Amino acid sequence: MRYFMKILKRVTIWAFCAVFCFFSACNVHPDAYTLIREAKAEVKSMKNCVVSSSRNLTFTSNGEQHSFQSKTDLIYTANPFTLKSILSSQIDGTSAKSETYTVTEDGNLNFYCKTPSGWQKTAAENLDSSPSAQIEILHLLNNSEDQEYICDTTVGSQKVHKIKLKLKNEALRSDVENIVTQSGMSGGSKTIVQTLLDSAPDIYGYCYVSVESGKPVRLELDAADVLNQIFQNIDGSNVSIKVTKCIFCGDISKIGSAPAVILPEDAKSASSVQAEG
């Protein structure tokens, strides 16, 4: 009987250890710092990709509502550098659409823009053609300074790691500039945007990294609460700002298998214009 009890006790201990080890293993997840470091390296070496991103900023200035909405579809190729961009935007109800191409021709970069009067061509000198510079949604990844692993999840049919990013305040520059400009609150000041950015609380976004490839497949930022804190801390301002929506998100797909960017035939006869500045 004593021998049987010893065996039972050992089996119980072994079973407990097995269960403990199993659940401990389930709670182990990849290191967020390593995932983001490798994701940045993947971006740096990216040969081509397709990107679809959108921005939505809605706020009131002294009770008057303003809305900025945009959707951008890009095809990027690193070498030779080509970039196709189709931008659809709506600002306070006024819609606009643009189609542009940046292409390498005879070793030089040229920028083509479709206007109501036809295509225009401008030399694109001293242009940083890296994906981090040319793909706006990747600015969130560039502006990250810390990271925290959240969970495994899916984006479409892809298994991904969801990682929380602590962002530099630079990630909100364009939104702050839009609000300051549209509200007229600058009063001619050239430093107000930077002053507002310097007052920002911690800013967080999310990066979704493919489990299989280690490449970033989605980035997103919801900053309405942060912007409200920024604009509620202005001493002596006679402009009241209330932000109801500020969302910036983008999906990166067909990495390494994007379609070629082909300049439209009618763009090849574009009139040349000199770049401003």
**pLDDT of the residue at 10:** 54
Asked if residue 1 belongs to a domain, the reply is no
Asked if residue 2 belongs to a domain, the reply is no
Give the mean pLDDT of 33-37.
Answer: 97
Asked if residue 16 belongs to a domain, the reply is no
Mean pLDDT rounded to a whole number for the chain: 89
CA atoms within 13 Å, Cβ hemisphere of 123: 7
Asked if residue 19 belongs to a domain, the reply is no
On the question of pLDDT at 238 being above 70, the answer is yes
Asked if residue 13 belongs to a domain, the reply is no
Asked if residue 261 belongs to a domain, the reply is yes
Asked if residue 20 belongs to a domain, the reply is no
The CB density around residue 197, as the number of other CB atoms within 10 Å, is: 18
Give the model confidence (pLDDT) of 149-207 as tens digits: 999 999 999 999 999 999 999 999 999 999 999 998 888 888 999 999 999 999 999 99
CATH no. for residue 244? 2.50.20.20
Q: How far apart are the first and last CA of the chain?
A: 95
Show the DSSP H helices in 27-145 as ranges. Answer: 32-44, 131-134, 139-142
On the question of pLDDT at 266 being above 70, the answer is yes
Question: What is the DSSP annotation of 245-277?
Answer: EEEEEEEEE-TTTPPPP---GGGGGPEE-PPP-
**pLDDT of the residue at 67:** 96
Structural domain containing residue 133: 30-272
CA distance 28 to 106: 52
Residue with tokens 């930077």: 194
72, 85 in Cβ contact below 8 A? yes
Predicted TM-score of the model (pTM): 0.86
Give the mean pLDDT of 26-41.
Answer: 88
What is the total count of domains within the chain? 1
On the question of pLDDT at 254 being above 70, the answer is yes
CA distance 122 to 110: 6
Give the mean pLDDT of 42-49.
Answer: 95
Percent share of the chain, pLDDT over 90? 78
Instruction: Among 32-36, 256-260, 261-265, 269-273, name the one with the lowest average pLDDT.
Output: 269-273
**pLDDT of the residue at 25:** 41
**pLDDT of the residue at 4:** 45
**pLDDT of the residue at 14:** 52
**Structure confidence at residue 140 as a pLDDT band (50, 70, 90):** very high
